Structure 1
């Protein structure tokens, strides 16, 4: 009878720490999702009321998205220097300050300060995006995408519960003498403050950018700490028999950093330097474009859908239902996408996401404006395609480069994603006015072209290596 191999020392305690950290990330994402959704549900209406110009309401979302883009890279640097818990606490703390600024500005009538507060409010979105990468760092090997998807899934609860609390927040604010619509931002500030305390006190994680798969087996078969100076590119999770087509890049990949983690005294890699290095690898560039293009397509089409629907006589209740279907596709299906990434590989899930986004855009082009079946179907598929592209791309981004590049590259990618989304939201209005909703979806198809080109190039290089 074969003798059972002893379990490596420290495995149980390491698993316990991983479970606690992942639980904290999930609960924190739920709280932060409530904070974001509660305030942003009424931000556009609040700005329009304060300025007296309906068109100014659209700038509320733009201010928040740009704020998220501005803080993404500083938060990534803070994670490398001081740890994920410090970076996340700083992001949610800044968002709490932003919510209070909105309250103070709306009470005093300082409209400019409202936009400053909304920009700081966007730090919560940047911290939430960083939390998805943090989830991969506490995941057991082979479960990185599933851990990420659980953190994203928690956003579903917050996104649904947040708007439902808006009216309650308004009533509470009125009881304390606050102006109309301002009380919801008090709720947001409380949610963000709670998130700040939660991650600052309970979240303890490994060094930012280091995965369990970075550990090198010792002679006894147990993992040891990553060794500075290790050169190479990590294989894609799920690249087993089911995903054997995903061949890891060779060690000469330009995206490979100088070490698995920054050694003491070693100069950290900047976000833009990491982005330049990763862009020279088709595999890493494919991951970056998957995140940026999927998000840009989703935002560009989603923000114009309510306007398109109301222009064709659809009720606000139906608009709300369609947006709920869209959010369900984005976050509700994330555990499925995480499971698929870990089972069949991130590249295949990204390609699935591209196919779904293409189908959604084609339906948007061909469907009549007042159709109550195809418009909701298009928005649901749009959210589902975003989920596949975001989880597949984020996982590939994390696993396709050396640990030293991971966190700065993650920050640069999230910043690029939010800048592109802000531009997409602004330009989609012009496209809708000039070419209608079909034009908006045609532009969405064009946004996917760079992703398809890089994917084709990667496939050709893989065939060449195989040959």
Structure 2
């Protein structure tokens, strides 16, 4: 790997941070109201998880081709190119809400998801320009950008609702107007300022060119470190999604308004991102596997706490959703760093793309099933299911802790 000058590394990390902040602002606002839009369009909660599932499926579908584009043309083109689709998807959502079309709304969220796949992979661009002892911290800095989105996106929901209504549109369409504007800014920041390309510092070395194929990446999955990282990332995503996506409906059914929902989701997404630098710093020093296990323990506590809360118990839900975000943060940052470290450098992009495909496909399945599970069994049962799932990677990490550290 070519040594990256300190000033160049800081500038590139700043660019990745700013771009991701814009994307997360728009994406979080869009996903927060997706279940509400679905319920309004259908008059039923059973399929309310489908739009969020479509967005996550879009991320899963987009990850592999975007990773291939990055391997061929660099991180800059891959990220910016995918984000253009995100703008298109957000505009489609505005139209879908206006005409009252649920199928078009689901399709629009799928396109938004495909568009955001480049942003999801951008955390690995931070790893490209970092040394091993700072890799988790670099990833964490990019993930930290979500702090802005976690606060700004939900906090603007009432404002953009008012703007949309003042323009004669459905109020919830305002969230997707915000998404389109924010992601457009992210496209500009990435395309014009992510230079030199982060991947060029890896690809400049003939021994580390991205020559690995998807088949090669599949063979790499025999590495227990990579297996553990992917399982931890996937289950952390699933548990976070099934609880978070149904919480707005759980609250609204108790009679609270969009403002209350927005602030509770803001607490959740703040927990997902705000502690990122500290998480990365700790993971670089005490080891990524230990932080992964700690994250899943926190997820377990959050799921059990949420299961005890009624829709009107907003204080408990505020704490539970915040902890849900913190647990996800530990798992996501440490798991991503562990995966990047374990993957052979010449196949890093392929392995990252394959892993994210698994993660977001699992998350899509969680989104799709969450509405049905909620309708059939209720919110508490949904949380207990999450609690049961999250025990697996925690147990794996604890049981195999020595092998994971030394493998």
TM-score computed with the length of structure 2 as normaliser: 0.87
Please give the alpha-carbon distance, in whole angstroms, between the structure 1 residues aligned to 2:305 and 2:241: 17
Corresponding residue for residue 356 of structure 2: 414
Aligned-residue offset at 1:210:
6.2
Please give the alpha-carbon distance, in whole angstroms, between the structure 2 residues aligned to 1:286 and 1:95: 31
| Alpha carbons 1:68, 1:123 under 8 Å: kept | yes
Which of the numbers 295, 319, 342 marks the counterpart of 2:237? 295
Aligned-residue offset at 1:22:
0.8
Corresponding residue for residue 13 of structure 2: 22
Of stretches 304-313 and 276-285 in structure 1, the one that deviates more from structure 2 is 304-313
Can you give the 5+ residue segments of structure 2 that lack an aligned partner in the other structure?
A: none
Which of the numbers 458, 462, 467 marks the counterpart of 2:400? 458
Change (3 A) 1:121 1:455: same
Corresponding residue for residue 71 of structure 2: 80
Can you give the 5+ residue segments of structure 1 that lack an aligned partner in the other structure?
A: 1-9, 215-224, 229-259
3-state DSSP of counterpart to 1:280: coil
Change (3 A) 1:336 1:462: closer
**With CA pairs under 8 Å and 6+ residues apart, which has the higher RCO, 1 or 2?**
2
Corresponding residue for residue 5 of structure 1: none
1:424 and 2:372 aligned? no
TM-score computed with the length of structure 1 as normaliser: 0.77
Aligned-residue offset at 1:434:
4.7
**More helix per residue:** 2
Corresponding residue for residue 7 of structure 1: none
Which of the numbers 107, 115, 123 marks the counterpart of 1:132? 123
Bigger Rg over Cα = 1
3-state DSSP of counterpart to 2:49: helix
Which of the numbers 80, 85, 88 marks the counterpart of 1:94? 85
| Alpha carbons 2:98, 2:170 under 8 Å: kept | yes
Aligned-residue offset at 1:284:
1.1
Change (3 A) 1:434 1:69: same
Change (3 A) 1:78 1:314: same
Deviations 1:239-279 (A, max 9, x none): xxxxxxxxxxxxxxxxxxxxx323xxx5x411x641x3232
Aligned-residue offset at 1:391:
0.4
Aligned-residue offset at 1:446:
3.0
Corresponding residue for residue 255 of structure 1: none
Please give the alpha-carbon distance, in whole angstroms, between the structure 2 residues aligned to 1:318 and 1:398: 38
Q: Map 1:332-351; keep pairs closer than 5 Å.
A: 332-351=274-293
Q: Map 1:128-277; keep pairs closer than 5 Å.
A: 128-173=119-164, 178=169, 180-206=171-197, 208=199, 226-228=205-207, 260-262=208-210, 266=211, 268-270=212-214, 273-274=216-217, 276-277=218-219
Aligned-residue offset at 1:88:
0.3
Q: CA RMSD in A?
A: 3.2
1:398 and 2:340 aligned? yes
Aligned-residue offset at 1:53:
5.0
